[in-house]
Amino acid sequence: METQQEITSMPRIGDKAPEFKAVTTQGNIHFPNDYKGDWVILFSHPADFTPVCTSEFMTFATMEEKFLKANCKLVGLSIDGLYSHIAWLRSIKDKIEYRGMKNVEVKFPLIEDITMEVAKKYGMIQPNEDSTKAVRAVFFVDPKGIIRAIIYYPLSLGRNFDELYRVIIALQAADAFGVATPADWEPGDDVIIGPAGSCGSAEDRMQGKEDMDCKDWYFCTRKLDKDVVLKKVLKK
């Protein structure tokens, strides 16, 4: 008999994304091996034919091209079966209209996980929330298969997809330019420069000897143009 700890264990930021093979609505996948060189958002939803999940899938599907241009592929998961997935996605395309979105076709893979094997590997089953449905987990996996960010939502709360896109852009900007991004950062906003490593470099900062704006030795920003960020991050 499995313990609660086994069910709720989850990988951490900086860990290698747990490997699995699965059947999806777009064929078989081997994760994360099939996605080397790409960023991936792996996300779970509680169940097919549920309204919050439907609104989320329509939003993700509508934004898929935007994510692809940001070098990011989408992979969904629920613990329902493949035929349920197919029927639900067909229903979304044929019958559902939401916020001006209609005739929405979900083209990214949706994983069948009846045995909950993948959901358990990623800690998507939270027994105090629901022991038979996956919560709304989001894993951001980089091109090397490393988990770089994790966001969890309860069953009742739909995700903010603009924020998921912002995270993908910010992670890539941080890698590309060796910076950190402050609260509510968007491309074009100032970025954060890491704290000085010595008294000498801290003094240089405060005397304006480096190309940055320092309010104190530990809080320094510099400008990073939106076009520079997007040129580096987005595909042409």
Contact 116, 20 (CB under 8 A): no
Maximum average pLDDT range among 7-16, 38-47, 207-216? 38-47
Q: Is residue 75 part of a domain?
A: yes
CB 158 within 8 A of CB 57: no
AA identity, residue 104: V
pLDDT number for residue 10:
84
pLDDT at 1: 43
Q: Is the pLDDT of residue 150 over 70?
A: yes
Asked if 59 and 144 sit in the same domain, the reply is: yes
Q: What is the mean pLDDT of the chain?
A: 90
Same domain assignment for residues 219 and 103: no
Residue 135 belongs to domain with CATH number:
3.40.30.10
- pLDDT higher than threshold 80 for residue 129: no
Number of other residues whose CB lies within 10 A of the CB of residue 169:
20
DSSP label at residue 217: T
Model pLDDT for residues 9-29, shown as the tens digit of each residue: 789 999 999 999 999 999 999
pLDDT at res. 5? 45
- Whether 53 is catalytic is yes
Q: Report the interhelical angle of 82-95 vs 51-69 (nearest 10°).
A: 80
Predicted pLDDT at 215? 87
Distance CA 27, CA 43 (A): 17
| 133 or 150, greater pLDDT | 150
Residue 171 lies in a domain: no
Contacts of residue 207, defined as CB under 8 A and 6 or more positions apart, other chains included, come to: none
Asked if 52 and 127 sit in the same domain, the reply is: yes
* Domain closes at, from 102, 125, 159: 159
What is the pLDDT, as a whole number, of residue 183?
A: 96
Domain of residue 218: give its range.
178-233
Given a cut of 70, whether residue 47 has pLDDT beyond it is yes
In a domain, 31, yes or no: yes
Q: Verify that 188 and 149 share a domain, yes or no.
A: no
The tokens for 48 are 């097919």
Pairing of strands 191-193, 101-102: unpaired
Using alpha carbons, select from 93, 113, 99 the residue that is nearest to residue 42. Answer: 113
Do 151 and 190 lie in one domain? The reply is: no
Length of the chain: 236
Do 50 and 140 lie in one domain? The reply is yes
Question: pLDDT digit string (tens) for 59-97?
Answer: 999 999 999 999 999 999 998 999 999 999 999 999 999
Q: Are residues 133 and 189 in the same domain?
A: no
Under 8 Å between Cβ of 7 and 40: no
Q: Cβ–Cβ contacts within 10 Å for residue 149, how many?
A: 16
Q: Are residues 136 and 217 in the same domain?
A: no
Answer yes or no: do 99 and 153 share one domain.
yes
Give the model's confidence band at 200: pLDDT under 50 very low, under 70 low, under 90 confident, else very high: very low
Give the pLDDT confidence score for residue 3 in this predicted structure: 46
Number of folded domains that form the chain: 2
Q: Is 90 annotated as a binding residue?
A: no
One domain for residues 119 and 35: yes
Q: Which residue among 53, 72, 214, 220 is the active-site one?
A: 53
Count the neighbouring beta carbons within 10 Å of the beta carbon of residue 183.
6
> For residue 172, is it within any domain?
no
Instruction: Establish if 167 belongs to a structural domain.
Output: no
198 confidence band (pLDDT: 50, 70, 90) = very low
3 HSE (CA, 13 A, CB side): 3
**pLDDT class of 212 with cuts at 50, 70, 90:** confident
**Is there a contact between 221 and 212 (Cβ–Cβ < 8 Å)?**
yes
Same domain, 191 and 134: no
Terminal C-alpha separation, the chain: 52
124 falls within a domain:
yes
> What's the pLDDT score for residue 32?
97
Q: 58: exposed, middle or buried (C-beta count within 10 Å: 0-12, 13-18, 19+)?
A: buried
In a domain, 15, yes or no: yes
User: Residue 150 is inside which H or E element, if any?
Assistant: strand 147-153
Q: Are residues 41 and 146 in the same domain?
A: yes
224 within a domain of the structure (yes/no) = yes
Q: Which of 211, 142, 151, 138 is nearest to 179 (CA)?
A: 211
Residue type, 68: L
* Mean pLDDT along residues 149-162: 94
Query: Token pair of 168, please?
Result: 């993908």
